[in-house]
Chain A
Amino acid sequence: MDCRKEGCAQPQDEDIMDIPLDDPAANKAATKIQAGFRGHMTRKKMKDDKPREEKQRDQK
């Protein structure tokens, strides 16, 4: 894991690997969040790409 930020508060005492890998509820929550995130990222990318696409279309 890269530590780009200095002064990054890495959890010292708590176990960072205390991730409930087998917990169905945690996985379900994660899946929902990931779906929302993926939707957001795709839409953001479309928005960022759109001006370029439109310019290309206009040039045709």
Chain B
Amino acid sequence: MAPKKDAKKPEPAKKAEPAPAPAPAPAPEAKPKVAAVDLSAVKVQFSPEQLEDYKEAFGLFDRVGDNKVAYNQIADIMRALGQNPTNKEVNHILGNPSAEELANKRVEFEAFLPMLQYVVNSPNKGTFEDYVEGLRVFDKEGNGTVMGAELRIVLSTLGERMSEAEVDALMVGQEDENGCVNYEAFVKHILSV
């Protein structure tokens, strides 16, 4: 039907509704998904004395006063309690949280315990030998020392990179007058706390 051309203004063509937003692209499943940690299956086996210690430490980290701690504090609480989890391990336990979740999601003590138990149960603990062997790789002269400078670079470029401040704090008093680190002594020092 041909529109009548008259004085009436043609109605502007208006889309009744906006075009539907495209469906969000599915997360690329390039890597096989590692099974999420089932914390409900972890049996908490700490003694009453340990639980008391842990509760105290937990309380120290609660800056809000809601008897909870944030996701991004979990790694440090575990470290404070004698464990040495990698950041990757902690993220895995927490279900690979986003940055927002890390900052805002909070966990109460009872929920934290199976997380801690999981790390305690973890078989890949670093021993004195592990650390020494790891550092020996960088012992170019095979004389029990590594260059402090090289160690700093390794720590800040490989693995779970450490910041300059972290490396500085770590290396305080460890380098001799030649900038060398006796790594067995270094590891003993690390393991003493």
Binding site for B on A (CB under 8 A): 1, 5, 7-11, 14, 16-17, 19-21, 26-44, 46-47, 53
Contact = CB atoms under 8 A, between A and B. Distances in A.
26 contacts: A1-B152, A7-B177, A7-B178, A11-B140, A11-B147, A16-B149, A19-B158, A20-B158, A31-B86, A31-B88, A31-B160, A32-B86, A32-B159, A33-B126, A33-B159, A34-B161, A34-B162, A35-B160, A37-B162, A37-B170, A38-B75, A39-B79, A39-B83, A39-B84, A39-B85, A41-B169
Given A10-B179, A35-B87, 7 more contacts: A9-B147, A9-B180, A29-B133, A32-B159, A37-B170, A38-B79, A42-B79
- Most B CB atoms within 10 A — which of A28, A30, A32, A34? A34
Given A32-B134, A35-B86, A41 B166 contact: yes
A26 B87 CA distance: 17
Contacts of B175: 5
From DSSP, what is the main secondary structure of chain A's interface residues?
A: helix
Contacts, number: 121
Nearest to B132: A33
Interface of B: 57, 60, 75-76, 79-80, 82-89, 124, 126, 130-131, 133-135, 137, 140, 147, 149-150, 152-155, 157-162, 166, 169-170, 175, 177-180, 190-191, 193
B190 A30 contact: no
Nearest to B178: A9
B160 A8 contact: no
